[in-house]
Structure 1
Amino acid sequence: MTSTTQRPTKLLPLTLSHPKTETEWIAEPGLRFGDGQIEYDPKVGIPLFGPRSLGTSRHKSEIHVGFIGTSETVAKAQRFYETCCKGIDGNEDYHPFPGCTSEMGFRCNLDLDASEVIRQHEYDQILSPRLKREKFDTLLSVLKQKLYLASERDRPTDYVVIALPDELFRKCRSVEFSEKGVGKIYRNLRRSIKAVAMSFGVPTQIILEKTIDTFGTDETTVHPAQIAWNLFTGMYFKVEGLPWGPSELTPGTCYIGISFFRPLGDSSSLRTSVVQAFDENGQGLVLRGHKFKWDEKKYGKSPHLPEDQAKDLIEMVLDQYKLENEQRLPQRVVIHKTSRFEPEEQRGFQDALKQVSRFDLVSLCPTSESRLLRTGQYPPMRGTVFHVGDLSYCYTSGYMKGKGYPHGHVPSPIQIADHVGDTARTELLREVLALTKMNWNSANMFGLMPITLRFSRLVGDILREIPENETPKAKYKFYM
């Protein structure tokens, strides 16, 4: 019997191919202001040219502002707005606020006379209950009555400022409680006020007594000009004006942002909050999707829609689009999510989009796992795009020539985590960069995320406060 010994097979070294890398830069998208003039920064464009809707039916030459608060906080808030209307000086880091008159800034005058005062007995009534939940509910009830009175005035109020005393806000800013069969419920005062005001069709702005008292003093952490810019930009949009519009979005495109939220008091279901930036002018509406069951333990924390509901949701969006656009469908639809598109969800979206010529399903998420390090003293420029194999990244924040980079950390990019559709990735990111400039809740030049996703998340926080049997208002202004 012969024994043979096999020689071990020689292992060859594993050869890996280098991933293909590419870097490019997208120029800063411009914005349109009054008379179609183009600038890049709202704090330059508005003083020079006026807001985008100047000279159109959307522009109000006079805004009727109502105030709700104690007699003391109402008086303070009225003086505060009067001060801002005259203009606020800036410095080397902050643009001056140009004021708000018929000839300066947003080119309109403010009527500040209307007010609904929280009387002393109402104030005591709010704070008298022992339980925080009862304080919270009583404050909401009082504010609901005041909002009703403001909405029923002979001369309609365009915009209501709720000037809350520090004590009321501190004791009622949020509440957490448990309900049998539901578990813990968390409520936030700002979100609840927005939901209540929506029922009267009144856009609101909440301002704290502390903000007014520290305005222009060493105690404030935000420059007074910045505060004024943000408040007045939001106000102008809430009274149906358009502070600025995009100049470089693809015509005939409907941009959609989808997020998920849990209805108040329901721990087993989810709903979609949908924000639509309808067209290249940045017009948009809000929709609430259908409820569906979601078990995190079974399916994970990243929710996705069942196929039939994904189809229904997009069909609902397209129906609303046609109502707003003389029964015309968009030429193209872009859907933004922060989670990947699961197969059944993708099938539902694509089935609904068969009636549209072109579409793109795009998953966008911030990431700190991959970054560029630039030689020299500055971080990567905003608009820098880099591709590594099938992955694409874009710096929506970063260094800007002439603007610098005010943050102390190295900026992070956003990643296209998933894409199905007809448009090249660079063009998709060019649109994303433009949509980061569409936040009319402040006058900042840009944000990290496109407005489709930023607003869909914020909108979901307020939609959860609206009862199931009520239809939420469709306009952005009620959620800002």
Structure 2
Amino acid sequence: MNADRILQSLVEPTLAFGYGQHMEHPKDGLLLYGPYSNPFLGGKLRIGLISTPEGATRYATWVRQISRAIYPKKAGDPNHTVFPGFQAVFQTEWPEVPTAKLVLDATELNHAICMEDRYQAIYKAVSLYADSIVSFIREQSETSIDLWMSVVPEEIYRLGRPKSKVTKEERQQSEILMDKKAATRIFRQPSLFDDDNKNAEIYLYELNFHNQLKARLLRHKVVIQVVRDTTLAPGDFEKSNGMPLRQLQDPATLAWNLATTAFFKAGGQPWKLSTPRPGVCYVGIVFKKEALGADENNACCGAQMFLDSGDGVVFRGAVGPWYSPSNKQFHLTREKARDLMNLIVGSYRRLHDGQSPTELFIHGKTWFSAEEWDGFRETVPENCKVVCVRIQEDSSLKLFRRGQTNIPRGFAWAMSEKKGYLWSKGFIPRLQTYPGREVPNPLSIEIVRGEANINVVMNDVFALTKLNYNTCIFGDGVPVTLRFADSIGEILTAGPIQENLPPLPFRYYI
């Protein structure tokens, strides 16, 4: 351990926006210069809408709202920025009338989600959305959609989650005479009747409307934004005491966040790192246990590849006994580690005219075994430096300062040549606040395999906290390589494993 314990203050990474301009804060850059890359410049988004009639009305009202300026409640507050309107920010129109509009029967949807058997209920509710979209794609193949907006009633959100329960008054009879126990028996010994085998597949899906919908649309390459009625029109929903049903962000902040993620999912690039390191590839390893698998050690492995531009691709790896109950960690075999890295390097080359990466940083939450390390190195070129980095939030180390504010975001301590601590959360001068309630915990960053400068690694991780396109905030507390690891894993395992699922851009999963 360093006896002097010298703290360093990392320079806040800047982002690149339109016209080659650089800013620290995404909202400042978008407000002044627009997005970094805009394939719709001067045109409009091709939006597909699927909702109930009430949801369609609320959606239209919301589009009108984000088409004009939305001011923060408190003028001059550095933590809240005026939203000038979608077209003013992105130089692209969000039309009130969508390119495609699919209207679902609210009564049929409510009947589906209220069925007594929760597997059947959520599967049927998802089918009403997914089947309608897939049918449109097949029948209207000449109509291209940039982004599907799926507006879901509040009861779908309430009852479309694990452990959700339907009240006796709401309960509807299930459509299929089967339950989970019967389905499990069929998985072990298939039935002589094809209908029974098909119906049993319903029980292979996760009890989560959001994850199941995204998982079932992956093979159709559908980009979808799932949004609740209460998000679009919070004023329409109240508790019995007259208070709002949900406590949401202020309207301007909510508009910034939804508009940014929608623009990104549709195919635009809001911003990128202004000073990327050419030839560097960042990979986040994803593991998710199979909740419905016969072997409790089975898990699905995946990887997120992020380039110096900020673009990301998700790869689904193999399913196998990667989980160890003894140490509660996930590890691949040498062969599977090699296969996964082969996919990543191959994809990188295709995106860079045959050029291989010069540096490959693999981020994970657990230790990397010697077997994994050997597998990773087998498939990369000899001149490519591979480094495995373990990143975890660490609550055992607290840093305090005198005064009324927390330590600034960006403090770092190189504890040794292999390990350091990075405070990616903290007081932000631009916002004049710390967006949190507790004393910020640092990220523990440790080089567990390979050779690299710990200060360079910490600076890279700090920069990657600026690439969360699922919102529009100054900086995240976790690098994008790991921010969505859990949610991507949940989508990959939300249904039967899709063996031939191709690598898909990151926007299909968030």
| TM-score w.r.t. length of structure 1 | 0.89
Gaps of 5+ in 1: 1-16
Determine helix, strand or coil for the equivalent of 2:94: strand
Deviation of 1:216 after TM superposition, in Å, equals 10
Identify the range of structure 1 (429-438 vs 87-96) with the bigger mean alpha-carbon deviation.
Answer: 87-96
Determine helix, strand or coil for the equivalent of 2:278: coil
Q: Assess, with a 3 A threshold, how the Cα gap between structure 1 residues 307 and 120 changes in structure 2: closer, same or farther.
A: closer
Q: Which residue of 1 aligns with 2:24?
A: 40
- Is residue 414 from structure 1 mapped to residue 443 from structure 2 by the alignment? yes
The one-character-per-residue Cα deviations of 1:279-329 (angstroms, maximum 9, x if unpaired) are x211221101122214533x4211112222222221221111112222211
- Is residue 160 from structure 1 mapped to residue 187 from structure 2 by the alignment? no
The question of whether the paired residues in 2 share the 8 Å contact of 1:33 and 1:244 is answered with yes
Q: Which residue of 2 aligns with 1:13?
A: none
Q: Which residue of 2 aligns with 1:118?
A: 104
The question of whether the paired residues in 2 share the 8 Å contact of 1:322 and 1:329 is answered with yes
Structure 1: distance between partners of 2:235 and 2:42: 27
Q: Which residue of 2 aligns with 1:282?
A: 310
Which residue identity does 1:172 align to in structure 2?
Answer: G
Determine helix, strand or coil for the equivalent of 1:291: strand
- Is residue 446 from structure 1 mapped to residue 475 from structure 2 by the alignment? yes
Runs of 4+, deviation exceeding 6 Å: 181-185
The question of whether the paired residues in 2 share the 8 Å contact of 1:257 and 1:336 is answered with yes
- Is residue 430 from structure 1 mapped to residue 414 from structure 2 by the alignment? no
- 1:398 aligned residue (413, 426, 429): 426
- Where in structure 2 are the equivalents of 1:311-322 lying within 5 Å? 311-322=338-349
Which residue identity does 2:319 align to in structure 1?
Answer: K
The one-character-per-residue Cα deviations of 1:252-296 (angstroms, maximum 9, x if unpaired) are 111111021124522331221200002x21122110112221453
- Where in structure 2 are the equivalents of 1:19-418 lying within 5 Å? 19=3, 21-54=5-38, 57=39, 59=41, 61-90=43-72, 91=74, 92=77, 93-101=79-87, 104-113=88-97, 114-120=100-106, 122-123=108-109, 125-127=111-113, 129-151=115-137, 152-153=139-140, 154-174=142-162, 178-179=180-181, 180=184, 186-214=206-234, 219=244, 220-263=247-290, 265-266=292-293, 267-278=296-307, 280-294=308-322, 296-297=324-325, 299-389=326-416, 391-403=419-431, 404-418=433-447
The question of whether the paired residues in 2 share the 8 Å contact of 1:88 and 1:98 is answered with yes
Structure 2: distance between partners of 1:307 and 1:200: 32
Determine helix, strand or coil for the equivalent of 2:81: coil
Deviation of 1:242 after TM superposition, in Å, equals 0.2
Structure 2: distance between partners of 1:60 and 1:162: 25
Q: Assess, with a 3 A threshold, how the Cα gap between structure 1 residues 456 and 59 changes in structure 2: closer, same or farther.
A: farther
Gaps of 5+ in 2: 165-178, 188-202, 238-242
Which residue identity does 2:19 align to in structure 1?
Answer: D
- Is residue 477 from structure 1 mapped to residue 495 from structure 2 by the alignment? no
Structure with the higher strand share, 1 or 2: 1
Structure 2: distance between partners of 1:453 and 1:51: 24
Aligned residue pair count:
458
Structure 2: distance between partners of 1:329 and 1:412: 36
| TM-score w.r.t. length of structure 2 | 0.84
Determine helix, strand or coil for the equivalent of 1:372: coil
Look at both structures and tell me which one has the larger radius of gyration over its CA atoms. 1
Structure 1: distance between partners of 2:453 and 2:61: 52
Which residue identity does 1:324 align to in structure 2?
Answer: L
Deviation of 1:377 after TM superposition, in Å, equals 2.1
The question of whether the paired residues in 2 share the 8 Å contact of 1:62 and 1:109 is answered with yes
Deviation of 1:383 after TM superposition, in Å, equals 0.8
Structure 2: distance between partners of 1:175 and 1:141: 20
The question of whether the paired residues in 1 share the 8 Å contact of 2:206 and 2:494 is answered with no
Identify the range of structure 1 (178-187 vs 17-26) with the bigger mean alpha-carbon deviation.
Answer: 178-187
The one-character-per-residue Cα deviations of 1:202-250 (angstroms, maximum 9, x if unpaired) are 2111111222231599834311111111111111111110000011221
Determine helix, strand or coil for the equivalent of 1:417: strand
The question of whether the paired residues in 1 share the 8 Å contact of 2:204 and 2:495 is answered with no
Structure 1: distance between partners of 2:263 and 2:106: 32
Q: Assess, with a 3 A threshold, how the Cα gap between structure 1 residues 308 and 19 changes in structure 2: closer, same or farther.
A: farther
Deviation of 1:385 after TM superposition, in Å, equals 0.5
Deviation of 1:137 after TM superposition, in Å, equals 1.4
Structure 1: distance between partners of 2:229 and 2:502: 30
Q: Assess, with a 3 A threshold, how the Cα gap between structure 1 residues 347 and 124 changes in structure 2: closer, same or farther.
A: closer
Q: Assess, with a 3 A threshold, how the Cα gap between structure 1 residues 27 and 456 changes in structure 2: closer, same or farther.
A: same
Determine helix, strand or coil for the equivalent of 2:361: strand
